Structure 1
Amino acid sequence: MEATVTKRWLLARLYEPEQTIVDCRFTLGKPEAGRESYEQEHIPGAVYLDLELDLSSPVEEHGGRHPLPDPQLLAARLSKLGIGNDSRIVAYDDESGMNAARLWWLLHYLGHEQVYILEGGFSTWKAEKFPVTDHQPVRVPSSFQASVQPQMLVDVDKVRQVSANMEPSASAVGLSAVLIDSRAHERFLGLEETLDKKAGHIPGAFNFFWKETQNEDGSYKSAEELQEHFSELDKDAEIIVYCGSGVTACPNVLALEKAGYRNVRLYAGSWSDWISYEGNAIAVREE
């Protein structure tokens, strides 16, 4: 099954007991906005998970702006919401799927495969007259047991190693390990930076803006289109994906896997972690 589901697919299964719908709406700089939107209206049966309170851990000196949550704490939160290891989870947001993809990635990291993203998000769901409500469901607690998959991650030391071995190049063809920067091109080049203290990118990285993996309606492009999009990357290469804080990298991870890449790993701390180390080099132009 695809990693995404359509609105009509979800509508037909809206009240199936083995399913939990998760509202992941969140606005950077307005931390209360997502929950307030959820309380005002949401897809029937949906519960809410907050990007910073639930899907991240507190910010420290290193680890980036959205450090990964403690696996056991997240498992306990999921259990409290009635999510168990047999649950099917459908996540949505209103931010082109980036927060929903964070949950998608985290659940895979915890060893849970039955998780999907609603194409188009909440606004298109509502615009097409699908049902919404302000009723918050009462959930019977379940038991979610985490089975952490450490191979899905890389740390800053691994990124340093890959960066040091990457010669400035116009092409990723033939490289055995590749760094992918998921941010907008202006941020990649260091021409603008509104979120982090330093501008630029990790030396040797290639820029694949995460939104270019999607169609205008918020659905992901087909596997064939994504294969063309990532065509300069070798299928056998180790692909390390990062962004500003490890959130918008997740849609790129999903797109790469949909395109058939199987050795895709996340640098969760991403750019905001990289620049927290004084000795790390910074590039401010395309190699």
Structure 2
Amino acid sequence: MKIQKTAPAYPQGSLLVEPEWLAAHSADKNLRIVDMRSEKAYAAGHIPGAVRIEDKPLRNPEERLTYLPRPEVFTELMNRAGIGNQTDVVIYDDEGGKLAARLWYLLHAFGHSRSTLLNGGWQKWTAQSRPISTEATVVPSARYQVKAIPDMTCALPQLLTRKPGVIVLDVRSPDEYSAKVISPGAKQEGRIPGAVNVEWKENVTGPNLEFKPAGELLAMYAAKGITPSQEIIVHCAAGGRAAQSLFTLRLLGFKKIRVYYGSFADYSALPNVPIEKPNVLIDK
């Protein structure tokens, strides 16, 4: 079953589905709906047929090169969720895609391109008074096999040896970027020298946190000197917000973009890397 484009016109609009499409296809045998919200939120009500996947196992702090979960751990997570290699996956959350995009990124990093996000997530689904369930969804176990796709992830050595002209996109808040506050998990405030800041929240709008129209997003990034022809490394503090911006740029047709999944929590803990602060450059 091929997921059809139902979202507003984006260059890669098939990455995003609307509640109307999901409501019409939720019973499809080859479709798995994944809820990335908290256990409490899921128990209080979820989209019928949705399984819940915990966010924490999706980042492995012991893997200091890529921070990706071990392949066997990710395989088991997918097996338990009933996701096989031919399963179409629709993911949602209630945080503007921040949690959903983390799973989307990892599915793609492990070779599973049959995944999309629900535009507007839980908020838009409920705003349209669509059915909800409080019963936990039980699904048969699947057989998932990972296939690593290296060009989705930027390891630290690749970041440090990047070529001139490669854009480092920092999607943290302006206060984190300008060193007014320390990012969650970081050892100090600051930013990677030369990084450009476009906060991930700028990708979505309205009470349902829907993705902004393609033209508005493209103009926003172009104003910061970011265009589809460029090579981009995106990061935040711990990878989740970066995954949402990765998704957004892929939605817009950007192809040469990778996530530094260790992000600033990893970078700020290193002993011999430069840290930039307003009017100060600390070269360790």
Of the three residues 50, 54, 58, the one matched with 1:50 is 54
- The AA in structure 2 aligned to 1:219 is E
The 1:194/1:250 distance shift into structure 2, 3 A limit, reads closer
The Cα of 1:286 is off from its aligned counterpart by 7.6
Q: Which amino acid aligns with 2:178?
A: L
- Cα distance in 2 for partners of 1:13, 1:78 equals 21
Aligned to 1:199: 189
Q: Which residue of 2 aligns with 1:220?
A: 211
Runs of 4+ in 1 over 6 A off after TM superposition: none
Count of residue pairs the alignment pairs up: 264
Report deviation, 1:128.
Answer: 2.5
In structure 2, the residue matched to 1:187 is 176
Matched, 1:15 2:27: yes
Structure 2 alignment gaps of length 5 or more: 6-12
SS at structure 1 position matched to 2:49:
coil
Query: Could you say what secondary structure the match of 1:283 adopts?
Result: strand
Q: Partners in 2 of 1:157 and 1:148 — Cα distance?
A: 18
User: How far apart, CA to CA, are the structure 1 residues paired with 2:180 and 2:239?
Assistant: 20
Cα distance in 1, alignment partners of residues 64 and 28 from structure 2: 42
Unaligned runs of 5+ in 1: 26-33, 167-174
Match of 2:220 among 218, 229, 232: 229
Distance change (3 Å), C-alpha of 1:61 and 1:198: farther
Q: Cα offset for 1:68?
A: 2.1
1:31-110 to structure 2, matched below 5 A, reads 34-53=38-57, 55-57=58-60, 59-60=61-62, 62=64, 67-110=67-110
Alpha-carbon contact 1:249-1:266 (below 8 Å) kept: yes
**TM-score normalised by L of structure 2:** 0.87
Contact 1:224–1:259 at 8 Å: present in 2 too? no
Question: 2:112 and 2:279 mapped to 1: Cα distance?
Answer: 38
Shift of 1:63: 6.0
Query: Could you tell me whether the CA contact under 8 Å between 2:187 and 2:269 is conserved in 1?
Result: no
**Distance change (3 Å), C-alpha of 1:146 and 1:89:** same
Classify the secondary structure of the residue corresponding to 2:83: coil
Find the aligned partners of 1:219 and 1:4 in 2 and give their Cα distance: 10
Aligned-residue offset at 1:234:
4.2
C-alpha contact (below 8 Å) 1:227/1:260 kept by paired residues: no
Percentage of pairs with the same residue: 31
Residue of structure 2 equivalent to 1:128: 128
Paired amino acid for 2:45: E
Aligned to 1:117: 117
**What amino acid maps onto 1:23 in structure 2?**
D
Q: CA contact under 8 A between 2:65 and 2:156: conserved in structure 1?
A: no
CA contact (8 A) 1:187 1:199 kept: yes
* SS at 2:117 equivalent: strand
1:228-256 deviation digits (Å, cap 9, x = unpaired): 12211243322100000011001111121
The alignment's TM-score, normalised by the length of structure 1, stands at 0.86
Match of 1:178 in 2: 167
Letter in 1 for 2:218: Q
State the Cα deviation string for residues 153-207 of structure 1 (Å, max 9, x = none): 1111121223xx66xxxxxxxx2x1100011111101111252331111011110
1:170 corresponds in structure 2 to: none
Partners of 1:137 and 1:210 lie apart in 2 by 31
Please provide the CA RMSD for this pair: 1.9
Q: Could you say if the C-alpha distance between residues 41 and 233 of structure 1 is closer, same or farther in structure 2, counting changes exceeding 3 Å?
A: same
How far is 1:80 from its partner? 2.2
